[in-house]
Amino acid sequence: MIDALSVVEINPAVAHKATVIWLHGLGADGHDFEPIAPHLQSQLSTPIRFVFPHAPHRPITINGGYIMRAWYDIAVTNLYHEEDSKGIHESASQLNILIQREIHSGIDARHIVLAGLSQGGAIALHTGLRYPQRLAGILALSTYLPLAATAAAEVHPANRDIPIFMGHGDEDPIVPLPHALKSKQLLQELGCPVEWHSYGMPHSLCDEEVGDMAAWLARTLRA
C-alpha cells in the first residue's frame, strides 16, 4: 500500500482553476519553495492552488546512508548509473495520488502542472510522461530524465507531446549541464515541446528563471 504524502498547501483568495504540484529536491521539504507561490501568483491571472509535498525519509547511499527526505536513493555521482527504480516508481505512485486528489476535487487534469527541482523535477518528468490523462505541463528545474531507457516504451499517448519547461544552471555541479541537455534531446525525440533556458548559476533558482517560469505558466494554463 502506498502511503499518502503530507503536503504544504497554498490556496488563492478566490476559487482556483488550476493546480501546481511542486516537488522539492534532496534533503529539503515541502516548505522549500513555499515562498515562490505568491511571486508566481502575482504575475498570473489564473488563480492557482500550490501543493508542496514532503518526500519520505530514506537512507541515501552516496551520503553514507544518512537518512533524509528524498524521492529516491542515489548510489553514485553519475545519475544514470545504478538508478533506484523501486524508489522512483514508489514516488511516482505517491505523486499520482496527489494528481488524482486534485481531479476528484474538480480540477481538470489539463489544468494541473507538475513541477520540481533536482530529484523533484526528475519525478515530475517521470510521472507526467506516463500519466494516463492529459496534464497541462511540466516544470523541470535543474534536473534530468530518470529511467530514460524505458521512457519511449512507457510514455502515455495522452502526454506524448506535453509542454515542458526546463531551466538549468550552466555551473551546476550536482546535475551537470550535459545531463540536462541529454534529457532535453530525449524529451524532444519523444515528441515533447521543450522550452529550454540556461542561467549563469549553480544548482539553484534565480530571479530571471522565476520570471521565465511565470511567463510559461501563463501561456500553458491559458492554452
Residue positions annotated with a catalytic role: 118, 172, 203
> CA triplet 57, 58, 60: central angle to 5 degrees?
130
**Total Cβ atoms within 10 A of residue 79:** 21
Q: What is the DSSP letter of 83?
A: -
Cell readout for 64 is: 553514507
Question: Three-state SS for 108?
Answer: coil
Cα gap 28→113, rounded to integer Å: 21
Cell readout for 13 is: 483568495
Say if residues 165 and 218 touch (Cβ distance below 8 Å).
Answer: no
**Total Cβ atoms within 10 A of residue 161:** 13
Cα gap 181→201, rounded to integer Å: 16
